[in-house]
Amino acid sequence: MEILIVGGGAAGLMAAVCAKERAPGAKVTILEAGPRVGKKLLSTGNGRCNLTNTGAAPASYAPAGGLRALERMPPARVMEKFERMGLQLRLEGEGRVYPASDAASSVLDTLRLTAAHLGVEEVTGFCAVRAQAARGRFLLEDGEGKRVAGDRLILATGGRAASKVTGYDLARGLGHSVTPLRPGLLPVKTDGAGIKGLNGVRVKCAATLLRGERAVLRQEGEVLFKDFGLSGIAVFQLSRALARLGGDAIALDLLPGFTEREAGEFLRARAETLSWRETDAFLLGMFHKNLARNLLAAAGIGPGLAGEVRAERIALLARLVKHWRHAVTGTPGFESAQVTVGGVPMDEVEERAMASRVCPGLYLAGEILDVDGPCGGYNLNWAWASGAVAGESAAAQ
């Protein structure tokens, strides 16, 4: 039996290892467009590769449903698999798992060495542009006329996030549909003077994505101001909801432990205690000085002494500190994204085997599918789990 795997990324490498372990006599070939496999893995987790999350469960992902592969291959089994391949792991905060070496290259080396030892073949520089299924066989062609044939095909071509090549047309050619593709886990562009001069400033706060006045999603964490808008983990998480559900604004709550009334009382008391300070120094010690300056400007608090600021201005400042609204104007696009929202819908895939329901012998795994998870190791976890299940199932049939 010959198993072809298009895409030598996280899902494709794991699929190859699991297929070969399941059927050692099968010929397993990875066809990768790039000059080497697993390039993207090296830049994951800021070069450290946050490879899974102990809390990853079907409910962690969007859209809901269709993720029983994660039950077959939960994070504990993903970790066990890597440890058996010789990778030492380290658990950090919020369930994030990294290689103990702190180097993403260790993850890739582990997979490559295991795949080579098992006899997986790697063909690089093969960008598949056409896939055909006929009489139980698959025929793949690259753009230069090279052809490869096999009995089973696993599409593990990833998504559009930070990638120039994709496999969506291959999936379409084999009868699948593809839902609209949008960038996820990325900064958000915002408009307005609010962020002027704040590039590089970080704040721990709660960020809420709003559609009209309705809160779509609230996320506590770090927000990083950029000259074009908002970034940081909290905004990354909101960007997935923005991609799926839409949104007009992000409201920042800079004092999430306070109600608006408490924030007002706190600021009034502060203005009394620090009545001698110039207004431009009133918020120093609470917020970064540029952030303080922008908040005061937005609340219309001009030069003078803190003790002389009128009560309604303090109330406006409290409102701003609790609901600082930034209109969303877009995102920087797929180049800046960590994940693709959208893809081949899971209802076209038999979820326990990752087998196509429309094309017998075809399997799909990883980001090509319409499945995305939050920051924190969830997306690689999906790639490993779905890749492992696809590889085992393809080899088992």
Ligand X SMILES: Cc1cc2nc3c(=O)[nH]c(=O)nc-3n(C[C@H](O)[C@H](O)[C@H](O)COP(=O)(O)OP(=O)(O)OC[C@H]3O[C@@H](n4cnc5c(N)ncnc54)[C@H](O)[C@@H]3O)c2cc1C
- The footprint of ligand X (CB under 6 A) covers 6-12, 31-34, 40, 43-45, 49-50, 126-128, 156-158, 161-163, 165-167, 338-339, 366-367, 377-380, 383
3-state secondary structure of 14: helix
* Least Cβ distance, residue 373 to ligand X (angstroms): 7
Tell me which residue of 344, 343, 357, 351 sits closest to 71, measured CA to CA.
351
* Least Cβ distance, residue 181 to ligand X (angstroms): 13
Give me the long-range contacts of 33-36 (CB less than 8 A, separation at least 24).
33/7, 33/125, 33/126, 33/127, 33/128, 33/165, 34/8, 34/124, 34/125, 34/165, 35/124, 35/125, 36/8, 36/124
70 versus 156: smaller Cβ distance to ligand X: 156
6 versus 115: smaller Cβ distance to ligand X: 6
185 versus 306: smaller Cβ distance to ligand X: 185
207, 223 Cβ separation under 8 angstroms:
yes
Query: Cβ neighbours of residue 289 under 8 Å, at least 6 residues apart?
Result: none
110 versus 157: smaller Cβ distance to ligand X: 157
* Least Cβ distance, residue 379 to ligand X (angstroms): 3
332, 236 Cβ separation under 8 angstroms:
no
* Least Cβ distance, residue 22 to ligand X (angstroms): 19
For CA atoms 332, 334, 340, 344, the dihedral sign is positive
50 versus 331: smaller Cβ distance to ligand X: 50
* Least Cβ distance, residue 34 to ligand X (angstroms): 5
Dist. CA 361–CA 364, nearest whole Å: 10
6 versus 238: smaller Cβ distance to ligand X: 6
The three-state DSSP-derived secondary structure of 130-157 is EEEEECCEEEEEECCCCEEEECEEEECC
* Least Cβ distance, residue 176 to ligand X (angstroms): 14
31 versus 317: smaller Cβ distance to ligand X: 31
* Least Cβ distance, residue 186 to ligand X (angstroms): 9
34 versus 247: smaller Cβ distance to ligand X: 34
Dist. CA 169–CA 166, nearest whole Å: 8
7 versus 194: smaller Cβ distance to ligand X: 7
What's at 25, amino acid-wise? G
Report CA dihedral (143, 149, 150, 155) to the nearest 10 degrees.
10
* Least Cβ distance, residue 89 to ligand X (angstroms): 14
* Least Cβ distance, residue 36 to ligand X (angstroms): 9
Give the count of beta carbons closer than 10 Å to the beta carbon of residue 363.
30
Dist. CA 317–CA 299, nearest whole Å: 5
185, 382 Cβ separation under 8 angstroms:
no
15, 26 Cβ separation under 8 angstroms:
no
